[in-house]
Amino acid sequence: MLKSETSLIAWIRQQRTLDPAAVPIPPGDDMAGLNLAGQGLVLVTTDIRLDGVHFRTDSASPRQIGYKAVAVSLSDAAAMASQPRGVVVAVALPRDWSMEQARELTQGLLDAADAYDCPLVGGDVTSWGQPLAINATLISTESGIAAVRRNGAKSGDAIMVTGELGGSLASGRHLTFPPRVREARAIAAAANLHAMIDISDGLSTDLGNICDESGVGASVYADRLPLTATAKTSADPLAAALNDGEDFELCFTCSPEDAERLLRDPPVAVRLTWIGAVTAGCERFLAFPDGRREPLVPRGFEHFR
């Protein structure tokens, strides 16, 4: 059983020394203080993760769960090409959890936060008679690169993705994925990105969100989707790439000229793939090499059914 919230905060402080110039109010007060003077637009995202929905405590370790909780919010920052600045985390721990489990969970939070220079600056801890729930709220800034939104896709744009898609849940990658924070900023610095989103609910759904916000359609080249090894061995590789979700790769649109330049001289080590084109109107479809077209139906994760 946990001894006290104060003892956990003291343990967190022992793990990391925060720069007082950047974080004048560290964990321990009612609110964290971040010095963002001169940083311009401040962006905030928040994500709740639930046992049985986003992870399972009977198969994922507390450290993996903690990592994912912060990494998901970091992926949101990546989706806008922003620079993470700090994260606060609220945790509702099952009453039967030990201090060791709480520390392991917190170590996972720190793993993700440290890897992306996004200090864990505070939060809240409570316990209850229900499964684990954990919420991360992250602050980021533009820092010289204008935030990329979902609503700027234009007819004729190339549709591109980072990495490979599909099979994240089956392979366990949904617990270990690297948020594309640095890649997003490097790509946005090298090209004029018109729209971008992270692929959390599945490409079919998340590309649909760009289309909805931008008032456009899309043609996705079925034979060009980059598949993970797990997706390739699944019963339906194409469906896995389109609908599995939890990939946390980036989908973005830009001019064909910028797309060609990114492929010719990539600013990042991660794989970049041109997977389709933005079209006028609102139709979204899959295009096959033999000329067939099928509707691209959003079959990724839906929060409300």
Per-residue pLDDT of the chain (305 residues; tens, 9 = 90+): 455 666 777 788 788 788 888 888 777 666 567 777 776 778 999 999 999 999 999 999 999 999 999 999 999 999 999 999 999 999 999 999 999 999 999 999 999 999 999 999 989 999 999 999 999 999 999 889 999 999 999 999 999 999 999 999 999 999 999 999 999 999 999 999 999 999 999 999 999 999 999 999 999 999 999 999 999 999 999 999 999 999 999 999 999 999 999 999 999 999 999 999 999 999 999 999 999 999 999 986 555 45
Provide the angle, in degrees to the nearest 10, between the axes of the packed helices 181-190 and 256-264: 120
Angle CA 289–292–295, to nearest 5: 115
CATH topology of domain 158-295: Phosphoribosyl-aminoimidazole Synthetase; Chain A, domain 2 (3.90.650)
Entry pTM: 0.90
CATH, domain range 5-141: 3.30.1330.10
Return the pLDDT at 302.
Answer: 58
Where exactly are the structural domains of the chain? 5-141, 158-295
Return the pLDDT at 1.
Answer: 45
Return the pLDDT at 304.
Answer: 43
- 3-class state of residue 173 by DSSP: helix
The rounded distance, in Å, linking the Cα atoms of 17 and 19 is 7
- Exposure of 29 in the CB half-sphere (CA atoms within 13 A): 9
